[in-house]
Amino acid sequence: MSYFTAALAFLVGAQVLMIAGYGFPAVPAEAPETLTLVHMVTIGWLSLLMCGALFQFVPVLIAQPLRGGRLVLPALICLLSGLAFLLAGFLQLAGTIDTDLPLLAVAGMLLPAGFLLVVGVLVGTLLRANLTLPARFVAAGLACVLVTVTLGALFALLLSGFLPALAGLDFRTHALPVHIAVGLGGWLTFTAIGVSYRLLPMFMLSPDGERASSRVVWWSGIAALVLIALASPIVAMVEGTGLMATPDTATGLAATLGLVSLILYGVDLAFFYRHRKRRVIELNSRAAQGALLALILSALLLLALLATGTLGQHVGALLYLVAFGWLSGLGLSQLYKIVPFLTWLECYGPVMGKKPTPRVQDLVVERRDRVWFALYFLGVLSGTGALLVNQPDVFRVAAGATLLATLAIVVELVLARRLYNVEDGKRLPDGTSRPRLFLPSP
């Protein structure tokens, strides 16, 4: 819950900055202000959310307890302090903060330390069992976050004036696309796919056996990630040798494999929804459909931009749709189930079977909340359209709609955590106590 709370705080903060016109599209995508906004979303919101979810659900994926749980708090401290230094470093580059301290260099040490602790706990847990397919997706995602963080640390050290031996290399051209693609496509998307392969069937009571299409999703996705991670360095090494290798060829092949992976992933999800035993699905599963639609639209938009040669011009709109439509939409939809579920376990688990207890669904009011998810996805689609037609004022209005929806969803999560929606007679039976908002119980 502490990871989720910090993540939601960064999400709200990033949306407030977008409404205020801070960062892209008001300034160029490579400006320090934009980098501040981007890393608030990718590290502060999405990565903290993913870490918190994995600490809870990796043990579910492999039916083993979490190993090294004492490192979870130090990891959070390193991640939050490292992110604070990173954001301050970008503000230093923008001239907002005037100091001679190497803020980015400090961030380049703290953030990798935090992610190494996270990966160490999760890999140590995964190694205790034979990996199911969803767990293999998570393992690949953890490898991707190490690549992403390593490149990010190198960027931070270079911008701080360290690593002079690399200063003469065109590091940005070859490493930045890998940093973005492996981070969004590998760490966040590939891990989200693996978690969804377990969560959605579990919540909808669908068959969750390993399917041939799921294995193709795995292999084609892995091949695409390897191409993205290795294509630019290899092409740079063989450039001028006469070999028939170009970045465009590798990128095109990776895009094709990634598209195959996404299509078959969609086929699997359609199978889960069609063969569910729970005929009336809960709001979190219905809202996840909006995130999956955003993923499909992201793939179609990528193909359209590649076909028209306008990817560089509209990459901001594409990344916004991926980050806020697919990843954030899926994250918010599943938090709507995860938070009440964790709250129910913490509060009512000790008296289950001994006292009358409410259902997990009783901790929320779906009829009241569905409008907020609809408003959120409508705001994301409107914001993407505004970026495509270069209308920053319209984008800010659309961002306001997503902020309103996000705040409403956060309020609903707080109400669920405080048991506000539970009937008085069932709220706190003997032997139970109201859980803390986001800190562990003593």
DSSP per residue, 148-193: HHHHHHHHHHHHTT--GGGTTS-HHHHHHHHHHHIIIIIIIIIHHH
CA angle 140, 146, 148 (to 5 degrees): 100
Q: What secondary structure letter does DSSP report for 50?
A: H
Q: At which residue do the structure tokens 């706990």 appear?
A: 121
Write down the pLDDT at residue 165. Answer: 59
- What pTM did the predictor assign? 0.92
Write down the pLDDT at residue 246. Answer: 53
Query: What are the angstrom distances between the C-alpha of 411 and each of 5, 32, 76?
Result: 12, 32, 23
Tokens of 260: 């195959």
Torsional sign, CA 307, 308, 313, 319: negative
* Cα distance between residue 160 and residue 172, in whole Å: 15
432 domain-assigned: yes
Write down the pLDDT at residue 240. Answer: 46
Report the chain (442 residues): mean pLDDT per 10 consecutive residues.
96 96 88 94 97 91 88 96 96 89 93 96 90 90 94 88 65 79 92 89 83 92 88 58 54 84 90 86 90 92 89 91 95 94 87 83 92 97 95 95 97 94 82 83 72
Query: What is the residue-wise DSSP string for 296-335?
Result: HHHHHHHHHHHHHT-HHHHHHHHHHIIIIIIIHHHHHHHH
194 domain-assigned: no
| 141 SS3 class | helix
Cβ-Cβ contacts under 8 Å for 44 (sequence gap 6 or more): 6, 7, 9, 10, 11, 13, 14, 83
4 domain-assigned: no
Cβ-Cβ contacts under 8 Å for 304 (sequence gap 6 or more): none
Query: What are the angstrom distances between the C-alpha of 331 and each of 49, 294, 395?
Result: 7, 13, 22
Tokens of 65: 């307890």
Write down the pLDDT at residue 236. Answer: 55
Q: Comparing C-alpha atoms, which of 77, 75, 86 is closest to residue 41?
A: 86
* Cα distance between residue 67 and residue 55, in whole Å: 10
368 domain-assigned: yes
Tokens of 398: 């659309």
Q: What residue type is 226 in one-letter code?
A: V
For residues 43 and 83, is the Cβ–Cβ distance under 8 A?
Answer: yes
* Cα distance between residue 84 and residue 6, in whole Å: 12
Q: What residue type is 307 in one-letter code?
A: A
Q: What is the domain extent for residue 295?
A: 284-442
Q: At which residue do the structure tokens 């705040």 appear?
A: 407
253 domain-assigned: no
Q: What secondary structure letter does DSSP report for 21?
A: T
Tokens of 332: 């918010």
309 domain-assigned: yes
395 domain-assigned: yes
Q: What residue type is 317 in one-letter code?
A: A
Q: Comparing C-alpha atoms, which of 265, 268, 258 is closest to residue 185?
A: 258
Write down the pLDDT at residue 434. Answer: 84
Cβ-Cβ contacts under 8 Å for 115 (sequence gap 6 or more): 75, 79, 145, 146, 149
297 domain-assigned: yes
Number of domains present in the structure of the chain: 1
Q: Comparing C-alpha atoms, which of 175, 191, 151, 150 is closest to residue 47?
A: 191
Q: Comparing C-alpha atoms, which of 328, 56, 60, 50 is closest to residue 208?
A: 60
